[in-house]
């Protein structure tokens, strides 16, 4: 069993990197990818501990990007990057800091908007997280804890959804830029949880994939906790049509998404075959276009 999509408290998960490794070993994961949002800090912290836990640790990341959507709000697209040979270097890491800066600005504006709506919260409520690291699930937990909403879903519906955040969008890279950055550092770029994009019928998703392949898109995420069995089946077919490998994982966030379990997703709906990782290794080994 493998899980190629997980988050630590270095982004919007609740588990420390060491706790995530121990949990992975306990449930028998063979391989774990830490794919924190726009940072490699969780992977860096876990790396020295991985060998003693007996779990293969894969360097990953989930990049936040925006796709131009003429006449409408820009579409939020997440791109997963997997670095199977070695972690990316300083140039890539310095580029990540520019993305983190947009998170800080968005969070400062979000805090002011919530206060303007007579919601009495402050950064002291975020358990040591400042505007540089806080993500929307953290805001949701604070809103629930202080009694402004009954649950996280209500927090997103009322205050934290993309529609609710209109006017304070982050300035993010485009999917092609993120894909190219991953490729230039020897990584595989995978389109994260395509089922969330709302691109229906499948021809709309195929059109997006067709646009991204020339920039180096190397895979699509077929196995994910938010995908129905029907969506997974469609995504496997789309991947085969484009001759792309698939990736997959639970998208584990710990207590921030308590219904999603490491390795198995929501109510056991995720089981990523071991051969998914093996095909990714083959892609890296034979694709001379993957730069190192």
Is pLDDT of 88 > 80?
yes
Which residue is listed with tokens 């800091």? 97
Number of domains within the chain: 2
pLDDT digits (tens, 9 = 90+) for 212-241: 999 999 999 999 999 999 999 999 999 999
Confidence of residue 137 (pLDDT cuts 50, 70, 90): confident
Question: Would you say residue 76 lies in a domain?
Answer: yes
Residues 141 and 177 in one domain: no
Instruction: Check which CATH number belongs to the domain holding 154 and give it.
Output: 1.10.150
Rounded to whole angstroms, how far apart are CA atoms 85 and 47? 14
Residues 105 and 240 in one domain: no
Domain boundary among 160, 189, 210: 160
Residues 155 and 178 in one domain: no
By the 8 A CB rule, do 136 and 142 touch?
no
Is pLDDT of 69 > 90?
no
Residues 80 and 178 in one domain: yes
Instruction: Check which CATH number belongs to the domain holding 32 and give it.
Output: 3.20.20.140
E strand or H helix at 100: helix 90-116
Most trustworthy range by pLDDT among 73-77, 153-157, 159-163, 188-192: 188-192
Structure tokens at 189: 């770029």
Q: Look at residue 130 in the predicted model and tell me its pLDDT.
A: 82
Pairing of strands 265-266, 246-249: unpaired
Residues 56 and 200 in one domain: yes
Question: Average pLDDT of 247-269?
Answer: 95
Q: Look at residue 285 in the predicted model and tell me its pLDDT.
A: 76
Query: In terms of residue numbers, what domain contains 108?
Result: 100-160
Residues 53 and 153 in one domain: no
Residues 109 and 207 in one domain: no
Structure tokens at 115: 């206060």
Domain boundary among 141, 160, 179: 160
Q: Look at residue 292 in the predicted model and tell me its pLDDT.
A: 43
Residues 185 and 278 in one domain: yes
Question: Would you say residue 165 lies in a domain?
Answer: no
Rounded to whole angstroms, how far apart are CA atoms 203 and 225? 23
Residues 151 and 189 in one domain: no
Rounded to whole angstroms, how far apart are CA atoms 207 and 200? 11
Residues 230 and 127 in one domain: no
Question: Average pLDDT of 192-200?
Answer: 88
Question: Average pLDDT of 264-292?
Answer: 84
Rounded to whole angstroms, how far apart are CA atoms 165 and 206? 28
Q: Among the listed ranges 157-161, 262-266, 277-281, which one has the minimum average pLDDT value?
A: 157-161
Question: Would you say residue 118 lies in a domain?
Answer: yes
Rounded to whole angstroms, how far apart are CA atoms 104 and 265? 30
Q: Among the listed ranges 8-12, 40-44, 72-76, which one has the minimum average pLDDT value?
A: 72-76
Residues 29 and 136 in one domain: no
Is pLDDT of 139 > 70?
yes
Rounded to whole angstroms, how far apart are CA atoms 31 and 56? 4
Domain boundary among 135, 160, 185: 160
Q: Look at residue 288 in the predicted model and tell me its pLDDT.
A: 52
Question: Would you say residue 93 lies in a domain?
Answer: no
pLDDT digits (tens, 9 = 90+) for 33-62: 999 999 999 999 999 999 888 899 999 999
Q: Look at residue 199 in the predicted model and tell me its pLDDT.
A: 77
Residues 137 and 40 in one domain: no
């Amino acid at each position: 069993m493998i899980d190629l999509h997980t988050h630590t408290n270095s982004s919007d998960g609740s588990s420390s990197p060491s706790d995530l490794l121990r949990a992975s070993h306990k449930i028998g994961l063979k391989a774990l990818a830490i794919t924190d949002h726009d940072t490699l800090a969780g992977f860096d912290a876990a790396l020295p501990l991985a060998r003693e836990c007996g779990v293969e640790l894969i360097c990953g990341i989930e990049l936040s990007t925006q796709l131009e959507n003429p006449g409408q709000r820009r579409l939020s697209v997440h791109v997963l990057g997997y670095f199977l040979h070695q972690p990316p270097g300083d140039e890539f890491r310095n580029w990540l800091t520019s993305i983190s800066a947009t998170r800080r600005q968005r969070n400062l504006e979000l805090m002011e908007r919530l206060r303007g709506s007579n919601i009495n919260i402050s950064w002291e409520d975020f358990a040591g997280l400042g505007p540089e690291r806080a993500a929307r699930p953290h805001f949701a937990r604070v809103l629930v804890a202080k009694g402004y909403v009954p649950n996280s879903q209500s927090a997103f519906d009322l205050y934290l959804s993309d529609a609710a955040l209109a006017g304070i969008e982050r300035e993010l890279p485009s999917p092609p830029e993120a894909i190219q950055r991953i490729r230039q550092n020897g990584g595989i770029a995978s389109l994260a949880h395509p089922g969330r994009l709302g691109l229906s019928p499948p021809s709309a998703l195929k059109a997006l994939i067709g646009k991204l392949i020339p920039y180096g898109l190397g895979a699509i995420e077929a196995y994910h906790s938010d995908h129905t069995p029907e969506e997974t089946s469609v995504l496997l077919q789309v991947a085969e049509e484009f001759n792309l490998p698939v990736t997959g994982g639970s998208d584990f966030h710990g207590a921030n998404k308590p219904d999603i379990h490491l390795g198995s997703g929501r109510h056991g709906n995720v089981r990523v075959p071991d051969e998914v990782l093996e095909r990714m290794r083959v892609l890296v080994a034979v694709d001379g276009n993957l730069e190192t």
